[in-house]
Structure 1
Amino acid sequence: MQERRIIELEGGWSFMEKGITKLKNILEGEAEEQFSAEQYMMLYTTIYNMCTQKPPNDYSEPLYTKYREAFSTYISERVLPALKEEQNEFLLKELHKRWNNHKVMVRWLSRFFNYLDRYYITRHSLHSLNDVGLLRFRDDVYTQVKQRAKDAMLVAIEQEREGEQIDRSLLKNVLGIFIEVGMGTMDAYNLDFEQHLLSTTSEYYKKKAASWIAEDSCPDYMQKAEDALRMEEERVTNYLHVDTKAKLLTAVERELLEHYETELLEKEHSGAAALMRDDKKADLARMYRLFARVTKGLEPVANIFKKHVEGEGTKLVLQVTEALNNKKDKDSGKPSKDTGSGSQEQTYVKTVIELHDKYLEYVTECFSSSSLFHKALKEAFEAFCNKQVGGLASAELMANFCNTLLTKGGGEKLTEDAVEDMLDKVVKLLAYISDKDLFAEFYRKRLSRRLLQDKSASDDHERAVLTRLKQQCGAQFTSKMEGMVTDLALAREKQQAFESWQRQNSKSSPLDLSVTVLTTGFWPAFKAIDLALPQEMVDGVALFKEFYEETVKHRRLTWYYHSGLATIRGNFKQKPIDMLMSTTQAAVVLLFNSEEKLSFSEIRERANLPEEDLVRILHSLSCSKYKILAKDPPGKAPGKNDTFAINMAFTDRMRRIKIPAPPQDERRKVMENVDQDRRHAIDAAIVRTMKSRKVLQHQQLVLEVVQQLQRMFQPDIKQIKKRIEDLIQREFLERDANQPNTFKYVA
C-alpha cells in the first residue's frame, strides 16, 4: 500500500488561493466559469488532506488563520474601496450587494474548509467558519460604514415622512445586516440605528407638533396625529424590526399627544368641550383612540365629558325650575298639589332619559365602553339628578313619571314596547338617585292609588317594573309593593267569595257593594275616620262584616272611607248624571236626599267628619270644576257659616263624570313618612353597628352608619348625631367617661 504524499503548507495554500481567487472573480462579476464538481472536490480534498496529516504536518491551525485572512484580504482590496466611493441610497445598495457577496463567499469557503468545522474547531471550541466570516464583515466592513449607512437610512425615512417614494425593501435589507452582525443579539441594531431613529423621530414630530398646534383645529390636528401614527406602524411592518414598534410609537405619542394634550383638549371653538357640544362623535372617537395611547391620557377627556354632561343636566334643571316658578307666578303663587300631572316635570324626566341615552351612546360608541367614562357619566348624572327641580326631588318626579306611564290614559299614546323601554330607562336612572327611599315611598303611594282605583294600564308592566326595581335595589325595596299587588289579587278573590256567600245565603245588599280587603303592613297608611254612613251604605257594610266574621277568624276590619269610591246618580233639572266620587263625598251628597239645605255645622254633625276633611270635601263639591252643591254665600272657599244645597241647575255634556277627590297635600305626608322611616333606619344602623363593635369612636360610627344606609338614601350627618344623642338618652348607648367622643353599647 502506497503512503499518501505529504502536502506542505505553502504548496497546499497556493493551490487553495487559486480557488479563492476564482471565487472572488465570480463575486466581482468577472468572466469566470463556475466551479465544477471536480474542482470543488479537489479544493475540499486538499484541505482534508492537510488537516489529517500526522504532526508536524497537521496544518489545521494555520489553515484556520488563513481562512480568516482570506476574508480580510478581499474586504480590504475590493469591498472597502467600493463602499468608500458611494453615498446615500447608492451606499445602501452597494452595502447590500457586498453583504450578499460576502454571504456567498462564506458559504463556499466554509464548504472548502468544512473539515475544520467538523473536527478542529469543535475540539478547540473556536468560532465556527460561518461565524468567522460574519465577524470579519462586522469588524472590517460594518464598523467602517455603519455611521454613513445609518445616516443614509434616516435621510430616506425623513423623505418618506415628507411624502417621497423610497426603496423600502432596500432599507429592510440593510437593517437586516444591522441585525445579523449582532450575532444573536439586537445590540448593533439598537445602538447603531434604533437609538438614532428614535431621537430623530422625536425631533421631527416636535417640529411638526409645534406647527400643527398653532395652525390647525383640534379635529385636524388629531387627524394628522392619527395618520402619523398609522404611517409609523406601517414603517415598522415594512422595514423596521418589530421590537422598534412600541418605542417608535411612544416617541411619536409623546411629541404629538402627551406634550400638547391640555392645549389640544382646551382649544377654543374646537376642543373636547366644543366637540361634545356639537355632537362630533367621529372626532371624539378619534380623541379616545389617540389619548388611550398615553398614560393617564384619558383622564382629562373623561373630566371634560363629566363637566359637559353635568352642565347639560344642570341647564335642564334650571330651565324646568324657571318654567315651574313662572307657572306658579301665573297661578298667583299657588303651587299645584298634583305634582304627578305637571307637564314640565314630565318633560324633565323624559329629557333626562334622552340625555342619558345620548351620553350612554357616547360612552359606548365614542369611548369604547371604557369604565373611566362610565364612571364620569355616573358622577355627572348623580350631580344634577340629586338637585331640587322647582322645589321637588328627582326621586319624586321619577315616581310621578312612572305613574303617568302606568296609569290608564295617563300620558301620550305609546306602544307597549315603548312603555316597557321607557320604564326600564327610568329604573336605570334610579341608580343615580341618592334618595331611593323617597322614590319608593312616592311610587308606593301612586301604586296604591292605581291599584285601588283600577287605574293601572297593564298588570304586566306593573310586575315588570317591580322586577327591575328588585334587581337593582334588592328584595327589601320592593317587598311592600309586591305585597300590594298580591294583596289586591287576594282581595278580588275575597269579593268573589262574598258574592258567592250572598247567593248561597239568599242575602242581598241594598247597593252594589264591592269591598277590597287589604293587609295593613303592605299599604301606605290610610286615614281612618268614623264616618256616619247613609243607611244604604250601613246595611251593605253590615252585610259584608257578617260574611267576613263567618269566614275569617282572629282578624279585625278597619274601614278607610277616604280611599273608597261610590257612583251615585244625580237627578238634575236638565238630565240625570252618574257621578263617580269618593265615599266621603258621596256620604255628604246623600245627606241632601232628605234636606234641601244644610249648614256647614249640620253637615259636619250628621256626617261625623273632622272639620279639615269637611272643608276639603265641600270645596271639591261646590268650588271645583263640577259644582254639584250650591254654596251660600258664593265664594272661592267653604266657610263655617256657609249653607249648601243641591245645585239643580248643574249639567254636563257627559252622562257620566268623575268628581275630583278633595285636594290634599299628599306630598307633605309622604315627606313626613320618609323622614320618620329614616330616623328609624338610622337608629337601627347605629344599634346594629354598636352591637357588633361594642366600643367605637364618634367619627368611625358615623362613617359606618353612612356606609350602611347610602344604598337607600344619603343620611344627614347632623341627623345621625341627633339620633346618637337620642339613643344615649334611651340608654342604648353611653359615652366613655374618659373619652367623650367614644361610645359604648349598653347590653
Structure 2
Amino acid sequence: MSQTFPVASDLSATWSFIQPGLEYILGAEGDQGVTPKMYMNCYTAVYNYCVNKSRHGSSNAPINATTGNNSYSLAGAEIYSKLDEYLVKFVNNLKKEPDELFLEFYVKRWTRFTIGAGYMNNVFDYMNRYWVQKERSDGRRDVFDVNTLALLKWKAHMFNNNADQLIDEVLEQIERQRNNEIVDTYYISTAIKSLVYLGIDIQDLKKPNLVVYIKHFEHKFLEKTAEYYGRESARFLSQHNVVDYMKKCETRLSEEVSRSNNYLEDHTKKPLLETLNDVLIKDHAQAMYDQFLSLLEHNEIEHIQIMYKLLSRVPFTLQPLADSLEKYINDEAAKALEEIKSAAETQEETTRVDSKPQRRSNSGLVSPKTYIHTLISIYVKFNDIVAVAFSNDPIFIKSLDNACRRFVNKNSIAMSSPKSSCKTPELLARYADGFLKATSKEADIIGMTTENLMIIFKFIEDKDAFEEHYRRLLAKRLINGNTKSDELEESIIQKLQEENSLEYTSKMTKMFQDMKSSEDLKNTVREHLKQTDNTVKDFSPLILAQSMWPFKHSDDYQLNLAPELLPAFDKVQEIYNKKHTGRQLQWLWNHGKSEIKANLSKKGKPPFLFTVSNVQLMILLAFNKSSTYSFEELLNIVGVAKHTFESHLLPFTKYKLLEQEPAGQEFFSNNTTKFTIVDEYKSKKLKVNFVSSIKTEQKQEEEDANKEIDESRKNFLSACIVRIMKARKEMKHNELVNEVATQSLSRFRAKIIDIKRVIDYLIEKEYIRRIGNDSYEYLA
C-alpha cells in the first residue's frame, strides 16, 4: 500500500488506496494479517474521503427531498456502493481445496471473514456513525453498518448457495459423534453458530432472529435425530432386555443434553428433548410396563427408579404405571391376608382335633394384632417403594392410598360377604385396646404402636364404626382402672381429633372429664368410710354422663344390694344429691368389679383376694350368713335375671370355690341344686380373678354397637340433608344424593339405599317434600 494518501475527493484513487488493505483484513492474502500502519492508513483514507465529501458536497449527487440542499448523506453513498461490490466479488472468489470438506472450508473462511468484517467495520467507522446512521434514521432499510453488510453478503453469496451441503455435512458429523467416532466439534459448533449470526432482521438489527437457524438446521436436525434413535432403539430392544435398554436411554439422553449444551441454541433444547422422549420413551413405554411387575416381584428398586425417571419425562405415561402399581399392591395384600386367614383356620382345626379348646378372637380366627400388622407391613413395604423408586410422586402416592383404602376396607378377613359391614374398624379398635390395657403382657404387644393405629385409621372408610368400638373399649378400660397411661390415652384421642375433627372425639373427651370430676366424689366417700366401721374398706364410684358413655341400664341386672353395702351406696347418693338436684342416678351393676378378702386359707396363711363382678359379690356375701343355698334361694337373694345369674355363678363351681350337689352340668340350674362354700380353698394363687371366667355376651355387645352405629348414621344423614336443603331450598334428587355422599365421606361411606331411606323419612316428617319426579323442596 502506498504511503502517499490519495486526493480526498477522488473516489477511485481512495478505493485503489484502501483495497489492498481490505484484502489483508479479510484474509485474501492467507493468514498474513494487516499491519497497524496499514490499518490506520485505510481508516484515514476513508475518513478523509467522507469528511471532504461532506464539506463540499457533490454536483452529481441528488438533492435531499426534505431540505432541498446537498444531502449530508452523500458523504458515504459512493464508497458504500464500492464496498458492496467488493464484498460480493470477494465472497464469490472463495473456493475450497479439492480434498477439503465443505464444512471445513466453510468454517475456516467464515471464521476469518467475520474477524475481518469486525476490523473492516472499524475502518469504515466514520461512515457507519454518520452516513449509515442517518440513512437508516431516514427510513432506508437497505443500508447497513459494514459488519452487517458483510454478513448479509456472506449469507446471500456463500450460505444460500451451499446451505443444503453445509447442513448435511454438519448432521453427518453429529451422527458420527453419536456412533462414538472422533469428530472435531469445533467445526460443528462454529457452523451452527454462523446460522445464528446470519439471522439478521433488516427492520431491526438489534432484534435476535433465529429464522435461518430454525429453517435450515433445527427442523432437519430434529427429523434426523428422530430417525436415528428410532432405528437404534428398535434394534437395541430386539437384542437386549428392557433393563439394559433403560440404561442405554439414560446414557443417550445424557449425551444429547451435553451435546445440546455444547453447540445448540437454547431454542432447540426443548424440542430436542421432546423428540428424544417420544422416540426413546413414549414409543417403548409398553415394553417398560410389561417389565414393571417383574421388577416389583424381584424388588428391583434401582431399576424401577430408572424406569420412573424415564417415564416422568413424558408425564402422561406415568398413569398406566401407577395403575399397575395399585393393582399389584391390592393383589399382594389379598395374598398376604389370605395366608394369615388360612394359617388361622389351620390352627383352629388342629386345636379342634387336639380337643383342647382355646379362647377364640372376638372378631374371628385372626387376632387383631396379626391382622393390623399384616396391613402395616404391606403399607410400609410399598410406601418405601413409592418414596425411593418414585420420589414420592403425587400420582404414585395417590395409587398407594387408593390401594390401601381398598385392601384395608375390603378383604377376605374384613368382609365375610359382599354386603356385610367391614370388620377392620372393630379389629383396629381391639388392636388399640391390646396395647393400651395395663393388664396386657409385654410379650403380647411387641410392635404394637400408636403410629400403626393412626396409619390404618387414615385409610378406614367407616371412621364412625371405629369411633363406636374404640369408645366402648375405652369405657371399659376407664371404669375398670385398666389403662396403661392416661397421657397415652389422651394423646391418641388428640391424634384422632387432628386426623378427623373435634366433634369426632367429643364423647371420648367428655368421658375423661367424667373420670376426673369423679375424683372429688371418690375422695369424699373414702373419707367417710375411714370414719365408720364398715364392711366396705374402699369404694370408687364413678358418675358417668349417660349420653356420652356407651352403657345402658339393663333390666337383667336388677341387683339386690347386700345389707352390709347399703350405707356406702346411700352415702354416695346423699353426697351427689347435695351437689345436684333433679338428677337421677342409675347403678350399672353389669359394669365395674370388686375385690373381696376370703378367709378360706389354711391356718397361718394370709387370706385370699378374689376379684369378682358385682353379681358375684352379692353371691359370696350371702355365704357370710349360711354355708349352703339352693339355686333358687341364691337367685332370689341376688335378684338378677336367671341367665345372668348362671353365667356369674358358674366360675365358682368351675374353680371349686362352691361345691354343687348333685354334681353335673345338667343339674346346675335346677332350683333344688345345693351350693356349699368350701371350708378351705385349694388355689395355689392368693389372688384369684373370677371375672375373666364369666361367659361374656359378646354377640349382644356387637349387636348393640352395630345398632348404635346405624342409628348414628341415620341421624348424621338426616342432619346433612336438612342442612343442605335449608341452604339450597330446592334440589334435584341426584344432586342431593351426591352432595350427601360427599359430605359423609369424612365419617363413613354412605350407601345410596340408606340415603334414599333417610330422604323418605324426612319427607314423612315434613322436613322436605317432593316436587315433580326428581326434585325436593325444603319446608321451613
Q: TM-score, normalised by structure 1?
A: 0.90
Residues 223-263 of structure 1: per-residue CA shift (max 9 Å, x gap):
11122111111111122112211111111110111111122
CA distance in 1, matches of 2:479, 2:11: 119
Distance 1:95 1:5, change over 3 A: closer
| One-letter amino acid of the counterpart of residue 76, structure 1 | N
Greater alpha carbon shift after TM alignment, 224-233 vs 547-556: 547-556
Q: What is the match of residue 292 of structure 1? A: 312
Distance 1:495 1:31, change over 3 A: closer
Residues 1:585 and 2:610 are matched in the alignment: no
Q: Specify which of 641, 660, 684 is matched with residue 653 of structure 1.
A: 684
CA distance in 2, matches of 1:307, 1:378: 12
Distance 1:439 1:14, change over 3 A: same
Residues 1:9 and 2:37 are matched in the alignment: no
Residues 1:663 and 2:683 are matched in the alignment: no
Distance 1:175 1:745, change over 3 A: closer
Greater alpha carbon shift after TM alignment, 685-694 vs 633-642: 633-642
Distance 1:123 1:276, change over 3 A: same
What is the number of equivalent residue pairs in this alignment? 726
CA distance in 2, matches of 1:588, 1:19: 130
Q: What is the match of residue 254 of structure 1? A: 278
Q: What is the match of residue 545 of structure 1? A: 573
* Contact residue 475 and residue 549 of structure 2 kept, 8 A: yes
CA distance in 1, matches of 2:333, 2:679: 53
Query: How far off is 1:410 after superposition?
Result: 2.2
Query: How far off is 1:656 after superposition?
Result: 0.8
Query: How far off is 1:51 after superposition?
Result: 3.7
Q: SS of the residue aligned with 2:688? A: strand
Query: How far off is 1:555 after superposition?
Result: 2.6
| One-letter amino acid of the counterpart of residue 170, structure 1 | Y
Q: What is the match of residue 707 of structure 1? A: 742
Residues 1:202 and 2:226 are matched in the alignment: yes
Query: How far off is 1:355 after superposition?
Result: 2.2
Residues 635-682 of structure 1: per-residue CA shift (max 9 Å, x gap):
399544655443567533321122214411122321222122222223
Q: What is the match of residue 497 of structure 1? A: 524
Q: Specify which of 57, 77, 80 is matched with residue 61 of structure 1.
A: 77
Greater alpha carbon shift after TM alignment, 700-709 vs 483-492: 700-709
* Contact residue 348 and residue 365 of structure 2 kept, 8 A: no
Q: Specify which of 535, 541, 558 is matched with residue 510 of structure 1.
A: 535
Q: Specify which of 629, 644, 653 is matched with residue 622 of structure 1.
A: 653
| One-letter amino acid of the counterpart of residue 236, structure 1 | S
Q: What is the match of residue 585 of structure 2? A: 557
Residues 1:379 and 2:363 are matched in the alignment: no
* Contact residue 363 and residue 427 of structure 2 kept, 8 A: yes
Residues 1:213 and 2:237 are matched in the alignment: yes
Alignment of 1:167-566 (within 5 A): 167-183=184-200, 184-266=208-290, 271-327=291-347, 329=349, 339=362, 344-387=367-410, 389=413, 391=416, 393-410=423-440, 412=442, 422-501=449-528, 506-512=531-537, 513-528=539-554, 529-566=557-594
Residues 107-127 of structure 1: per-residue CA shift (max 9 Å, x gap):
333333333223322232212
CA distance in 1, matches of 2:41, 2:332: 89
* Contact residue 424 and residue 468 of structure 1 kept, 8 A: no
Query: How far off is 1:568 after superposition?
Result: 1.9
Query: How far off is 1:178 after superposition?
Result: 1.3
Query: How far off is 1:356 after superposition?
Result: 2.0
Q: TM-score, normalised by structure 2?
A: 0.86
Q: What is the match of residue 75 of structure 1? A: 91
CA distance in 2, matches of 1:31, 1:725: 101
| One-letter amino acid of the counterpart of residue 724, structure 1 | I
* Contact residue 44 and residue 111 of structure 1 kept, 8 A: no
Query: How far off is 1:190 after superposition?
Result: 1.1
CA distance in 2, matches of 1:386, 1:704: 22
Q: What is the match of residue 598 of structure 1? A: 629
Query: How far off is 1:26 after superposition?
Result: 6.6
Query: How far off is 1:537 after superposition?
Result: 2.1
Q: What is the match of residue 64 of structure 2? A: none
Query: How far off is 1:304 after superposition?
Result: 1.2
Q: SS of the residue aligned with 1:569? A: strand
* Contact residue 195 and residue 212 of structure 2 kept, 8 A: yes
Q: SS of the residue aligned with 1:657? A: strand
CA distance in 2, matches of 1:285, 1:637: 72
Distance 1:415 1:67, change over 3 A: farther
Distance 1:604 1:173, change over 3 A: same
Q: SS of the residue aligned with 2:718? A: helix
CA distance in 1, matches of 2:50, 2:677: 137
Percent identical residues: 23
Q: What is the match of residue 100 of structure 2? A: 86
Residues 1:676 and 2:711 are matched in the alignment: yes
| One-letter amino acid of the counterpart of residue 482, structure 1 | T
CA distance in 1, matches of 2:572, 2:35: 125
Residues 1:136 and 2:166 are matched in the alignment: no
CA distance in 1, matches of 2:380, 2:166: 58
* Contact residue 558 and residue 639 of structure 2 kept, 8 A: yes
Q: What is the match of residue 20 of structure 1? A: 22
CA distance in 2, matches of 1:232, 1:564: 77
Distance 1:730 1:331, change over 3 A: farther
Distance 1:636 1:160, change over 3 A: farther
Q: Specify which of 664, 669, 678 is matched with residue 634 of structure 1.
A: 664
* Contact residue 511 and residue 537 of structure 1 kept, 8 A: yes
Query: How far off is 1:612 after superposition?
Result: 2.5
| One-letter amino acid of the counterpart of residue 242, structure 1 | D
CA distance in 1, matches of 2:28, 2:385: 68
Q: SS of the residue aligned with 2:608? A: strand
Distance 1:601 1:698, change over 3 A: farther
Query: How far off is 1:362 after superposition?
Result: 2.5
CA distance in 2, matches of 1:415, 1:603: 41
- Unpaired segments of 5 or more residues in structure 2? 1-5, 61-73, 137-142, 201-207, 417-421
* Contact residue 652 and residue 658 of structure 2 kept, 8 A: yes
Distance 1:301 1:609, change over 3 A: same
CA distance in 1, matches of 2:211, 2:575: 99
Q: What is the match of residue 644 of structure 2? A: 613
* Contact residue 8 and residue 14 of structure 2 kept, 8 A: no
CA distance in 2, matches of 1:501, 1:409: 30
Q: What is the match of residue 154 of structure 1? A: 171
* Contact residue 618 and residue 638 of structure 1 kept, 8 A: no
Query: How far off is 1:709 after superposition?
Result: 2.0
CA distance in 2, matches of 1:448, 1:197: 75
Q: What is the match of residue 95 of structure 1? A: 106
Greater alpha carbon shift after TM alignment, 518-527 vs 486-495: 518-527
- Unpaired segments of 5 or more residues in structure 1? none
Q: What is the RMSD of the two structures over their aligned residues, measured on CA atoms?
A: 3.0
Residues 469-520 of structure 1: per-residue CA shift (max 9 Å, x gap):
01111011101101111211111222112223556xx435321222222222
Q: SS of the residue aligned with 2:665? A: coil
Residues 410-436 of structure 1: per-residue CA shift (max 9 Å, x gap):
2545999x76xx313422321211111
Residues 304-348 of structure 1: per-residue CA shift (max 9 Å, x gap):
111122222222332333344445555669996652797632111
CA distance in 1, matches of 2:664, 2:311: 73
CA distance in 1, matches of 2:757, 2:653: 46
* Contact residue 515 and residue 542 of structure 2 kept, 8 A: yes
